[in-house]
Structure 1
């Protein structure tokens, strides 16, 4: 599912309304009618009871977003709902399709009341809002930018002051006050229960923190031309279960009925060595649990074998808990960290261990000692030399940020970087606030610089590729904000790389399944239960099963809501 900016959405509108050959395409007024009817269909299916004469308050602003609201009002009024429409503008301020929608509502006896400073402070108006079945926000749309001011800002603040779970507020296209092209939030913004995006997802509806104002998100297909060059040229996409299922299906084969009956499996699944071997390198004083989590997650993600390479001081601790993994060590410095200045024999030992693996994860709990730098340098060079895909995580990234010569080597290999905002800030030499204000742009910047795939972790994680590709993961769950969650994700990516997936496919799949595991954990956790990284790992088989549709399909955060026929 493509994710568009405001300008791209305007271009998509234009090439649908006027075809490239100059001939007339879909009339724009039909697109507005489709949008309004789709929103009305969603309201009836999700919130309203036909025949109940529920009171629906529609708040409209300038431009076509207000016009969409007028179409919703006409559709609902024709179905005998009690509809009251309030507008920030008078009829004289509307033109084009929005004016047509205004007059069409008037033609069936509808009234549109203009708002002013006095009406916003009127107790009757506030009482109507509070006693309605729902409030529809069609104040500002995709054309809005900057910060809501004046009467619009006051109206938004009023709606937010009275909204509560029992009073749904549904936004058309975007919650009013959000910029369709930005993740950042300024000024007053409608805190919506749900948002019906028109035709396509917008950046402001998907990127955090702006997305936190949208509630559940649905996309209404209003008939714009998805085959146009505008849609094709957009390189930003939402990760969906369909996309991930398609990626994973060649690697996770469901036995056929005949195979089950004869207890035969696909021969490619019979030997653990054919399912990939991941080597996780890390651990230091007090941090030996990190690579254990990575290898456990790799095994739960389908890798046939998993090994840890850790300082000698942590070897027994690693072996004691995760019985399925193989553990190797290098000498420590007496403080629990890798020692520096490897001997020739020790370097040969490292190369032998690395040669057995199909992919590496380097960095979890590794620390930033001189020995850690030596190990990271050796493994980066081995990964380039042997063309082995490698995940760089945690302290692996922190060391990179301190050694530009290592960072420059990444362009020669197949690397996946997994920074959180602080780590990305250090890699780019900026402040964390600079990352948070432009998560997508900064992720793309590093991916192009390093010629590597990147995931910027956090709510709605941003995945960026070296050619400018962008994927946004829909998950935004608090259960993933726990110690060791990143080690789990790194191991999942590494396990899928070892299995033979490309860096792009492994990253997209692991991030999505990791999010599904978090959602499953959040849905099943007892009230007050604090989730741990081990809890996330325990949910991975079910998360993979849901994505692969081995069990009941996972309910997506985003879905299409198509305009259906409405009986009058």
Structure 2
């Protein structure tokens, strides 16, 4: 599990640890890990041309001390000082080791630029001198390794309201920060390498579940299981206008852990679903959960859906089903799966606002509607009404294809019917959905039905082999 802590939490943990360690020891731990990560990133050390962008604060100190360690191993290290408040002890150590102070002209011939411009407490955006240095690295196609986070992003929200560094690698210390997991800042981080510096941290407000966590959640049947005890899902999807959505959502649901699916919809659509999946049962009956909305279009029955929302079974609302939700009731067992445009309509804001402030708006919707929100996107943000937040970021870009959301709705509904809580169903569903897409894509285009077809294979990998395609062990 990857845990992301706030700046306040990290600073408190660092202060507690520094009180127990000799002066400078914590900084040296971070600098050593940073130096190793830089060497591994460029693939060599002796003769490497390294330019440090050193601002004020500890991140600049980390960069300077890391530069000192690289210089002692034969690297040609140049420090570009972007603040009069640079870390003087760090610069002295670098100069003693053979490094030198240079200018942004040195960036043009560098193998790597190290972003030590601001620390985790810095404000979004870059000052002019830092902006010019970063632009020069971009112009000359020199990769940037960020210290702790790309300078200029908002650490605690994942937002990027101003110009910022776009890193090829981010090296962080002690724990992940929120910007490492939440887009759009996460996209600016590149791969994130975590260096353990011994922090004792409180519970994290944001978590990203990995394969071992999802494996523990997944409802595996036992020898005593039958189709009813495994879970029965009621699916209300598709219409004369969008019959394919019912077929796709059914495919996603049947690829999950349920024992049976009841399809409720127009006869003509039921026939299309049955033609693809003869094992479904058409018509209403007892279920353990509902998945409602994919492709309903104008055939959404709002009063009926609201009756189900007030019932005892958990409900997943997707697409058109979201129109039946209001903010007047208590819906702790409801899971909604909007994309940015749908959530924007629900909250009365512009889509661009949701896309740029994903965490903020997912939390706002969870609190306002008293539901668990799965906000789809390049990274999936899952926010529960009790404040829990989980993030899924193992999806590849090929998953952005028509009907993929219908697969996800069916799969998450299946997990709800099998007994998972809304937040666990959302986390497990998003994870397996992305893993299945990675398997199906194999580096090329895919369709929604191909994603659904790979969910069982992704599940077998999860339960038997551990790491899935698209996931790293870092």
TM-score range, shorter chain: over 0.9
Cα deviation for residue 511 of structure 1 reads 1.1
Q: CA contact under 8 A between 1:462 and 1:473: conserved in structure 2?
A: yes
Equivalent residues in 2 for 1:68-467 (5 A)? 68-89=62-83, 93-94=85-86, 98-113=87-102, 115=103, 120=104, 122=105, 125-129=106-110, 132=111, 134-163=112-141, 167-226=142-201, 231-232=202-203, 234-248=204-218, 251-252=219-220, 266-269=222-225, 271-328=226-283, 353-355=284-286, 357-369=287-299, 372-381=301-310, 384=311, 387-400=312-325, 404=326, 407-409=327-329, 411-412=330-331, 414-467=333-386
Task: Give distance in 1, aligned partners of 2:57 and 2:360.
Answer: 29
Task: Give distance in 2, aligned partners of 1:28 and 1:533.
Answer: 56
Task: Give distance in 2, aligned partners of 1:219 and 1:395.
Answer: 41
**TM-score, normalised to structure 1's length?**
0.78
2:12 maps to what in 1?
11
Q: CA contact under 8 A between 2:209 and 2:392: conserved in structure 1?
A: yes
Kindly tell me: are residues 241 and 284 of structure 1, through their superposed partners in 2, closer, same or farther at Cα, counting changes over 3 Å? same
Please state whether the residue corresponding to 1:153 is helix, strand or coil.
Answer: helix
Please state whether the residue corresponding to 1:462 is helix, strand or coil.
Answer: strand
Q: CA contact under 8 A between 1:216 and 1:558: conserved in structure 2?
A: no
Q: 2:429 aligns with which of 479, 492, 510?
A: 510
- Give unmatched runs, 5+ long, in structure 1: 18-23, 254-265, 329-352, 561-568
Give the number of the structure whose alpha-carbon radius of gyration is greater: 1
Cα deviation for residue 361 of structure 1 reads 0.3
Q: CA contact under 8 A between 1:368 and 1:398: conserved in structure 2?
A: no
Please state whether the residue corresponding to 2:224 is helix, strand or coil.
Answer: helix
Cα deviation for residue 59 of structure 1 reads 2.3
Please state whether the residue corresponding to 1:136 is helix, strand or coil.
Answer: strand
Cα deviation for residue 394 of structure 1 reads 0.8
**TM-score, normalised to structure 2's length?**
0.93
Question: What RMSD in Å do the two structures reach over aligned CA positions?
Answer: 2.2
Q: CA contact under 8 A between 2:137 and 2:143: conserved in structure 1?
A: no
Which of the two has greater helix per residue? 1
Q: CA contact under 8 A between 1:59 and 1:86: conserved in structure 2?
A: yes
Task: Give distance in 2, aligned partners of 1:35 and 1:185.
Answer: 25
Equivalent residues in 2 for 1:523-538 (5 A)? 524-526=442-444, 530-538=445-453
User: Residue by residue, what CA displacement relative to the aligned partner does 1:132-161 show, whole Å, maximum 9, x if unpaired?
Assistant: 2x2222222312213212111111111111
User: Residue by residue, what CA displacement relative to the aligned partner does 1:519-544 show, whole Å, maximum 9, x if unpaired?
Assistant: 3334x144xxx311111112212222
Q: CA contact under 8 A between 1:292 and 1:308: conserved in structure 2?
A: no
Cα deviation for residue 358 of structure 1 reads 1.4
Q: CA contact under 8 A between 1:303 and 1:499: conserved in structure 2?
A: yes
Q: CA contact under 8 A between 1:318 and 1:327: conserved in structure 2?
A: no
- Aligned residues between the structures: 473
Task: Give distance in 2, aligned partners of 1:247 and 1:162.
Answer: 47
- Give unmatched runs, 5+ long, in structure 2: none
